[in-house]
Amino acid sequence: MSIQPPLSDLPIKTAETGFYRGFSVDVTVISKIIIGVLVVWCIVWPEWAGEVLGAWNSAILASFAAWYIWVVAFFVIVCIVLAIWPTAGKMNLGAEGEKPEFSNFSWFSMMFGAGIGVGMLTWAVAEPVAHFGSNPETIMGITNGGTADNVRMAYKWSFLHWGFGAWACYAICGLSLAFFSYRRGLPLTIRSGLTPLFGSALSGVLGTIIDIVAVVATILGVAQTLGFGVDQFVAGLTRIGIGGLTDETGSASTVGIIVALLVIMGASTLSALSGVGKGIKWLSNINMVLSIILLGFFIIFGATWFGFNAMFIGLWDYIIALPELSFNVFRSDGVEGSESFLLAQWQGWWPVFYWAWWIAFAPFVGLFLARISRGRTIREFVLGALVVPALMCFVWFAWAGGTAIDLELNGGADGVIFAAQNGDKIFAMTEFMLAPIADILAWGMALLIVVLLMTFLVTSADSAVLIVNTINAAGDEGPKARPHILFWGAALGLVVAGLLISGGTGAIQTAMVIGALPFSLVMVLMAISLLKAIYNDGRREKAGVEAVTTNLNVTPAE
């Protein structure tokens, strides 16, 4: 049988007139209904919503914990294969000879800012501190929580959650979209990544369902990030002197949530209207520069040597343990309080939650990565998306979290940092470090962190709005999508507000874990499709059959 050219035409029905002109009405309207029902449910019946979401979450964690663990391990393996596979590595994500649109600095800045930057400001301090107190080794009695012998365990688990597994999820989704859109000329939407398996059937109901699942997962994944960010943003505003935004526990009050979301979503909507090449690019560059300044402060004036040890010893421990950590599933014996029960519970709270978060976040980050990575080779994309951002995360955790642990162990912090809310820990730490020198310096550092957090939040939110509109518009990135930016900006803000009101960040976490489950199956199929497509393209190249059907006549980023 002769080798045929690849499928390069996937028509998706869009409205020709009216408000939804240029949009897939089925995908857009059904996605809006699902998100709208979720918002109304959480705001009007918060207690009922919290109970139901909690029950669903428990059922998913009990039944699908192993699925989440093994799926992410599969994604890491696929990325390694793609990086070392000669046929795959040299393929260009675009026409032959096409060059990248963005410089490496802007590419890494946008990748890091949209993908994981917000989490750094909360969890780079909070997570090593949490694992320093409790982790599987402390549960099994191997190490002692809160003591020096538990530092290495704290970093092994922190690096696992924010390392190669996280970025493998993003890389798989982003590479699939870039490959099929920029080499095949297919629509820049999730369904295109499954064409090697389902072909032209994706023009119909099957493709509609896949894109709807992606839109809902995107909104819930970004809502998780914004939920953590809102708490920290309010904590920062309180630290710089703006009162009335927290409750008696120190968490963001309803007023604080509303104020923070109005500021963040208003700025992000304006940025989204300016497009990727303007607002998002410049915000990403700004927050990268501010990140370097803040990180430099921790490296120079924080626990320099402690952080150095945490970085390299933690990285060694993580890489050596990665095969076991990637596949190990803790099984509960059902006896509450037993060791196996506590281990399974811990795994549900941490690795399973994180894998669900990264999977839910993958349509957003993946499509965004595809959008900014045209013209790069597959090897360059995989290594750039997998290794560089992960190393940046490790550096943050080592010196920001290491400074917090060192100050508590050896620097006389006496619980000031550990006792603060997760989002407030970085502010408590910098205040403790600088207040003895000058209060104005502590205030200035808090202001810098607030500005940095704001740029990260806005970058994530405006990118998400643009991505959702691209999926709804059957992959069309043109300006006709802009009237709908206002709707999705408001919808995203309301989802965050509704879930926070109905049960705090725990409610967002629950909704996100639920929303990630169906998309995890889609991502597995995307990975398989990608491997099949690259293999077939290699065969086409040897047989002299044209495999690249795109061209350079593409509208550049705005």
What pLDDT, on the 0 to 100 scale, is given for residue 553?
Answer: 40
CB within 8 A of 253, min separation 6: which ones?
234, 244, 245, 246, 247
SS (H, E, C) 425-493: HHHHHHHHHHCCCCHHHHHHHHHHHHHHHHHHHHHHHHHHHHHHHHHHCCCCCCHHHHHHHHHHHHHHH
Q: Is there a domain that residue 437 lies in?
A: yes
Residue closest to 401 by CA, chosen among 184, 108, 158:
158
CATH number at residue 197: 1.20.1740
HSE of 10 in the Cβ direction (CA atoms, 13 Å)? 32
Q: Is there a domain that residue 516 lies in?
A: yes
Q: Is there a domain that residue 241 lies in?
A: yes
Q: Is the pLDDT of residue 338 over 90?
A: yes
Query: CA–CA separation, 72 vs 326, rounded Å?
Result: 8
Q: Is the pLDDT of residue 181 over 50?
A: yes
pLDDT in tens, 343-375: 998 998 899 989 988 998 888 888 878 888 888
3-state secondary structure of 17: coil
Q: Is there a domain that residue 359 lies in?
A: yes
> In angstroms, how far is CA 403 from the centroid of its own chain?
25
Burial string for 7-42 (b: 16+ CB within 10 Å, else e) reads bbebebebeeeeebebbbbbbbebbbebbeebbebb
3-state secondary structure of 180: helix
Helix 46-84 with 378-386: angle, nearest 10 deg: 130
pTM of the model as a whole: 0.89
The parent domain of residue 297 ranges over: 25-540
Q: Is the pLDDT of residue 555 over 60?
A: no
Q: Is there a domain that residue 447 lies in?
A: yes
Q: How confident is the model at residue 557 (pLDDT cuts 50, 70, 90)?
A: very low
CB within 8 A of 267, min separation 6: which ones?
454, 458
What pLDDT, on the 0 to 100 scale, is given for residue 405?
Answer: 95
pLDDT in tens, 447-477: 999 988 888 787 777 778 878 888 898 888 7
Query: How far is the CA of 56 from the CAs of 120, 198, 302, 517, 526, in angstroms?
Result: 29, 31, 43, 12, 26
What pLDDT, on the 0 to 100 scale, is given for residue 289?
Answer: 81
Domain count, the chain: 1
Sign of torsion over alpha carbons 144, 149, 151, 156: negative
Which tokens hold the place of 514? 């639920």
What pLDDT, on the 0 to 100 scale, is given for residue 478?
Answer: 64
Q: Is there a domain that residue 554 lies in?
A: no
Question: Which carries the bigger pLDDT value, residue 365 or residue 299?
Answer: 299
Burial string for 329-368 (b: 16+ CB within 10 Å, else e) reads ebebeeeeeeeebbbbbbbbebbbbbbbbbbbbbbbbbbb
Question: Which carries the bigger pLDDT value, residue 386 or residue 111?
Answer: 386
Q: Is there a domain that residue 276 lies in?
A: yes
Q: Is the pLDDT of residue 320 over 70?
A: yes
- Averaged pLDDT of the chain: 85
Percent of the chain past pLDDT 90, that is, above it, reads 40
Q: Is there a domain that residue 148 lies in?
A: yes
